[in-house]
Structure 1
Amino acid sequence: MAAHSAHLFSIVPGASEPIYRQLVDQARRLVAGGQLAPGDAMPSVRQIAQALALNPMTVSKAYGILETEGLLTRRRGVGMLVAEAPEPRPSVASRIDLLRPTLERAAREARQLELDADIVLALFTRILKEAS
């Protein structure tokens, strides 16, 4: 059971999406992508709140939603853990569904900046390869 750092998460304070929702969506993506595996210990509410300069209630709200959804489970004396999943990994289609809102926001911003689609796609490809 690995303990994960609060630095797994990042927030965009000025985004239209509430901070708790950003945390929930990031946790979903981390689990779907395999960076968080069943049984992995999550950083504490306090650790995330301190690392990201957030109100602990905001982090607690995100964890509560994830627990209600069955993505996280609370274990006394240990804290929050990634719940055991019935399937080893979500389907490609469900992982694409998790990525789509992020790409829609990026596309909207690219249009606002009047950037050519080919340039944006080339940048995205370069970023994907850098992260590998």
Structure 2
Amino acid sequence: MHKQIIFNLPVKDLNKSQAFFSALGFTFNPQFSNDNALFMNIVDGSIHAVLSTEPFFQSLINKPVAKAKEANEVVICLSCESREEVDSLIAKALAAGGTTPHPPEDHGFMYDQGFEDLDGHLWNLVWSEQQFS
């Protein structure tokens, strides 16, 4: 079995979060989903997120759930195939109700922009001429 990245995010409303991320083209696996959590495929076979209701997420940890609209512990960064893919995903995020915390940054060899999802989680989309490794 190959390695995968699976991270968990607390959300206020599973239905709204599912609609938001579906608008970005992410899919959901019903086999690993229920009324408390949705298993989201970001990059099939390798990167996934579990969107959990805040009460369910709280049951998994022994400290308070961070309020992502007030403070952030992490920025989720996804590499993209092109500048156009960055711009396309940002446009979809904005159309689905997300916001952008800063304008695009163009360094010539690297291009990025971020969005904030409905719950305040920060996502950064980046294209680079070179692979990150």
- Give the alignment's TM-score, normalised by structure 2: 0.30
- Greater CA radius of gyration, 1 or 2? 1
Higher strand share: 2
